[in-house]
Amino acid sequence: MRKKYGRLRKSENVIVFPGTFERLVAKGIDCVKHKQFEKAVEAFDQAIIYEPDYPEFLGPYAVALYETKDFERAREIAARLLHSGTTSYIDAMELYLTISIQLQEYEEVEMTIDTLLEEGIIPHELLTKFTYLRELNSRLSSRYTPDETNPAEAIFTFEDFLEMDIYTQQHTLASLEGTDLRAMIPVLEDIVESVHLSPLIVTFAITLLQQSGYSKEVTIKKFGDELAIVPAGMPLPGQDPFTINVLSTVEEYLVKDPSRFEMAKSLIEKFAITAFPFSWGQYDEEEVAIAYVQYIECLFTGEELPNTSLHAFIKEIDDLSNFE
């Protein structure tokens, strides 16, 4: 009996091998999960040629474009998702509005959220999130007073920030990238020195201070450790020589097993961002690299993890959700 395949796809009159589209989508979604957003965009850019309105990958595609700061295309893909009949309409709308704020489409965002609220479309459990999104949009739209070059007052206070849920905190900080941060410096100082916020949120705030050239000393507290740093003098998370050498050493160990290396790379990058500006303690690069090789091996085999403080710290960071 002849084996049955899915329908053939064509691209510019060239027949595409069965499974090509599905592999590209799967690769893109996997890259998004591992925060390899540029690779995800590359895969989705190819996949969309074959199926321009395939809803299953439009959401991750828009997220990847957003994370690579290609906001114009991100909004275009998010708009396709909204019109695709997706069952996750509210999630798609939140993504579209977040991207629109980045593009400074403040009037459209305000009108859209007001309409959603008036028509009762937003589920009760998400009302707070959309209310904060509307307030953030309003503050950003009025950041500058007419015909003035000096920034207006801070668009939110530290107290406002603490009241936001963690995802709104992320969107709020992301909206500040590439802007004049002078009015926000006191708020960012409070955020980076807070012990009550997610480690990732603190990292985002530190990178904003780096962006502003902040040259004063701040004290960071994470995972029971304390460190005084000058943000302007710090490398970006994961770009320090120690982390780069750890990645290089792990790659040497796992050169014959690319899948395990990619997993280890993802874990190391997650650690570097989450723990920033802290490193792996007193351990040297070789010890850290070997610990990750052992950790990956234990994940694959189910064997017990070595009982060391380094392995325990690696596992602690791995067990954290993105915004825990």
Domain membership flag for residue 202: yes
Q: What is the DSSP letter of 165?
A: -
Q: What is the pLDDT of residue 125?
A: 81
Q: Report, as an integer, the average pLDDT of 32-37.
A: 86
Q: Report, as an integer, the average pLDDT of 49-61.
A: 80
Answer for the pair 116, 82: CB distance below 8 angstroms, yes or no. no
DSSP H helices in the chain: 20-33, 37-50, 55-67, 71-82, 89-102, 106-118, 127-141, 158-163, 166-174, 185-192, 199-211, 241-253, 258-275, 285-301, 309-319
Q: Is the pTM of this model over 0.75?
A: no
Torsions phi, psi for 4 (to 5 deg): -95, 135
Domain membership flag for residue 26: no
Q: What is the pLDDT of residue 146?
A: 45
- β-strand partners of 159: none
C-beta neighbour count of 309 within 10 angstroms: 11
Domain boundary among 217, 234, 251: 234
3-state SS, residue 262: helix
Q: Report, as an integer, the average pLDDT of 235-251.
A: 92
Answer for the pair 187, 161: CB distance below 8 angstroms, yes or no. yes
- β-strand partners of 220: 227
Q: Which residues make Cβ contacts (< 8 Å) with residue 225, sequence separation at least 6? A: 278
Q: Domain limits at 225?
A: 175-234
Residue 167 has pLDDT above 90, yes or no: no
Domain membership flag for residue 249: yes
Q: Among residues 138, 140, 218, 126, which one has the least CA distance to residue 174?
A: 140
Angle at 189 between CA 187 and CA 195, to 5 degrees: 100
Measured distance CA(166)–CA(210) in Å, rounded: 22
Measured distance CA(241)–CA(297) in Å, rounded: 25
Distance of CA 283 to the CA centre of its chain: 28
Domain boundary among 234, 269, 302: 234
3-state SS, residue 23: helix
Domain membership flag for residue 166: no
Residues 217 and 246 in one domain: no
HSE (CB half, 13 Å, CA atoms) of 151? 13
Q: Report, as an integer, the average pLDDT of 76-89.
A: 83
Domain membership flag for residue 211: yes
The lowest-confidence range among 177-186, 256-265, 269-278 is 177-186
Look at the block and give the residue holding tokens 């090789």: 293
Q: What is the pLDDT of residue 322?
A: 56
Domain membership flag for residue 190: yes
Residue 5 has pLDDT above 70, yes or no: no
Q: What is the mean pLDDT of the chain?
A: 84
Q: Report, as an integer, the average pLDDT of 50-75.
A: 85
Residue 112 has pLDDT above 70, yes or no: yes
Number of domains in the chain: 2
Residues 262 and 313 in one domain: yes
Q: Please state whether 4 falls in left (phi above 0), alpha (psi between -120 and 50) or beta.
A: beta
Residues 248 and 216 in one domain: no
Domain membership flag for residue 155: no
Look at the block and give the residue holding tokens 């997706």: 86
Angle between helices 89-102 and 106-118 (to 10 degrees): 150
pLDDT, tens only, 186-202: 999 999 999 999 999 99
Q: What is the pLDDT of residue 4?
A: 39
Measured distance CA(320)–CA(318) in Å, rounded: 5
pLDDT, tens only, 126-162: 888 788 788 878 877 765 434 444 445 678 889 989 9
**Lookup: tokens for 230:** 């000058």
